[in-house]
Structure 1
Amino acid sequence: MEWLSAPLSFAKYVLTAFIMYGCFILIERLRPVEPHQPLSHLWFNLRWYVVYTLVSFALQAIGIGIVINLMQNWLGLPLINLPVPDTPWLYGLMALFYFLVTDFFYYWFHRWQHTTRLWEQHKFHHSEMSLNVTSTRRVHWLEDPLLLLFLGLPMGLLFQFNGLALGILTFIEILWLQFIHLNLRLNLGWLSPVITGPQYHRLHHSFQTEHLDKNFAAFFPLWDILFGTYYHPRRDEFPPTGLTTGETYNNLWEANLLPFRGWLGSQSVPEHK
């Protein structure tokens, strides 16, 4: 029955994600920015998530984690050990440090996606005109190997991950990424320069000129503030989202081929935005 383990793991993973989406969709109904988003957009995102997860499982089967292990052993670097959560204050401090460092690398990867040819892969995510929790994984499946290179590799060379500690951190990261994509009219006020939220990230997805290439951070606006890309949300500022060019790419075949068509084209700079 071993041949059933992979399909069952895949089905469990997708089902868990859909349940989490369902819980957040209910939260979105409390105070939505856009009360009547097209159901067809949500349905496309759910179908795309299945495609994305299939490819992601395939990449994991290849063993991308082996790359990090080999690099750690070859370089022999002194790694930062994340403690098991039997000392809550120490674990909380280390978790905060972990997310700060993660966000530093993610900030630059995300910024490069907007300013280099990586935009051809990233613009599918920004084509979302109905930003909501299901938009979280509305990313091209090339995102996984790119994240391995620009984020997983440097983090793997800095930290020694305990299995339980890594599982907890990963779960928190998934929840937070879903939170910041919510279709929720939530203003964090004085906390806006301290921690990201749905309004902060909605501004990043806005196609209005003043919002372009702003608010790249996933967790802490600190990096946007330090590197000059911070846009402070005004109290009732919840702009529409999408590309300035208006494309949506809500077609599975078109979405899969999108970055390759862009890279094979004649453009040498990102088609903004």
Structure 2
Amino acid sequence: MSALLEALPGLAMIGLMCVVAVAIECGGNVDRQRHCRAAAFNLAYYFTTTAALAPVMSIAASGVAVSLNSIGGGLVALPAGGWWFPANVLAILLVTDFLEYSYHYAQHKVPLLWRMHSLHHSEEQINATTTTRQFWFDQIIRAMVILPIVGLAIRTDASVVVVARMLVVANGIHVHMSLQRGWGRLWWLLNSPQYHRCHHSFLPQHIDRNLAPMFPIWDILFGTAYRAAADEYPPTGLQPSVRPSLLGAVLWPLRAGASGR
């Protein structure tokens, strides 16, 4: 229960950010009824699974803290204070994004990981809350592997980590928004709703492309980048189409045909 209470502020913040983003989306050219139904399902799934996983995440966080204390903190100590603060935030974001890119690449190439990750790609009415539509065991893997690596690699102030985490969450919500928005010639600098929508497309030219969560530079370096045309706004989801129930989402990898694209 204490772990759940500790997680509530973060859940509330993410929920509020998602609600505001969905409200912005509904002011645009979307089917509001379908949009709100999809958002409600994603948030119900997210809050249910996150609440259930709170004790596990708490144990994982404790394990990271013990590991960091045993070596005196991260291996690379970043300068603190003043103008170093944004540089520290950027360093955390770059390291985290590279690790997330690497894991995301594996999710698309390793059948077992894809069976879990395909829940995220089953979203046909992509919206701001789609960022929360992650299979629950994927979240455990991130907590046990990616976050500890970042913590063990870099030593910095806790405030830097908090700000970086907030930016990661905000980016995840933004790039999943149903907005026909790209950065034009600066597409390579930062992920955008258009860039990431192509990643969620089931069209052949988009499969396994645009894997970077925040910085497209990883896609460019490793040959997975797809530069969308100015008016490119493809359909999303899996083929054949699948719309799971809440229980179906919790048990997603056990579904027959969960490996479909």
Fold shared per TM-score above 0.5: yes
Question: How far has the Cα of 1:7 moved from its partner?
Answer: 5.6
The question of whether the paired residues in 2 share the 8 Å contact of 1:179 and 1:198 is answered with yes
Question: How far has the Cα of 1:119 moved from its partner?
Answer: 0.7
Amino acid at match of 1:97: A
Residue deviations 1:35-92 (CA, integer Å, cap 9, x gap)? 445132222112112112212312133x2123223444556686233555x41x3222
Superposition pairs for residues 82-161 of structure 1, below 5 Å? 82=78, 86-87=81-82, 89-116=83-110, 117-161=112-156
Separation in 2, partners of 1:53, 1:8: 12
The question of whether the paired residues in 2 share the 8 Å contact of 1:207 and 1:240 is answered with yes
Separation in 2, partners of 1:41, 1:102: 28
Which residue matches 2:236?
241
Separation in 2, partners of 1:22, 1:64: 28
Amino acid at match of 1:119: W
Separation in 1, partners of 2:242, 2:141: 24
Amino acid at match of 1:271: S
The question of whether the paired residues in 1 share the 8 Å contact of 2:194 and 2:233 is answered with yes
Amino acid at match of 1:28: E
Which residue matches 1:16?
13
Q: 1:192 aligns with which of 178, 187, 194?
A: 187
Q: Which runs of 5+ in 1 are unaligned?
A: none
Tell me the secondary structure at the aligned position of residue 199 of structure 1: helix
- Judged with a 3 Å threshold, the aligned counterparts in structure 2 of structure 1 residues 100 and 7 are, in CA distance, closer, same or farther, namely closer
217-226 vs 186-195, greater mean Cα deviation = 186-195
CA RMSD of aligned residues (A): 2.4
Question: How far has the Cα of 1:106 moved from its partner?
Answer: 0.8
- Judged with a 3 Å threshold, the aligned counterparts in structure 2 of structure 1 residues 221 and 95 are, in CA distance, closer, same or farther, namely same
Question: How far has the Cα of 1:166 moved from its partner?
Answer: 1.4
Which residue matches 1:271?
259
Which residue matches 1:27?
24
TM-score (norm 1): 0.85
Separation in 2, partners of 1:257, 1:19: 27
Tell me the secondary structure at the aligned position of residue 217 of structure 1: coil
Tell me the secondary structure at the aligned position of residue 214 of structure 2: coil
Separation in 1, partners of 2:144, 2:114: 16
Question: How far has the Cα of 1:17 moved from its partner?
Answer: 2.5
Separation in 2, partners of 1:146, 1:196: 23
Separation in 2, partners of 1:198, 1:78: 34
Separation in 2, partners of 1:106, 1:6: 25
TM-score (norm 2): 0.89
Which residue matches 2:64?
68
Which residue matches 1:170?
165
Identity within the alignment, %? 31
Residue deviations 1:93-113 (CA, integer Å, cap 9, x gap)? 222222111111111100101
Tell me the secondary structure at the aligned position of residue 64 of structure 1: helix
Question: How far has the Cα of 1:15 moved from its partner?
Answer: 3.2
190-199 vs 18-27, greater mean Cα deviation = 18-27
Tell me the secondary structure at the aligned position of residue 136 of structure 1: helix
Which residue matches 2:252?
258
Separation in 1, partners of 2:91, 2:46: 30
Residue deviations 1:199-243 (CA, integer Å, cap 9, x gap)? 111111011110000000011111101111000011011111101
- Judged with a 3 Å threshold, the aligned counterparts in structure 2 of structure 1 residues 65 and 26 are, in CA distance, closer, same or farther, namely same
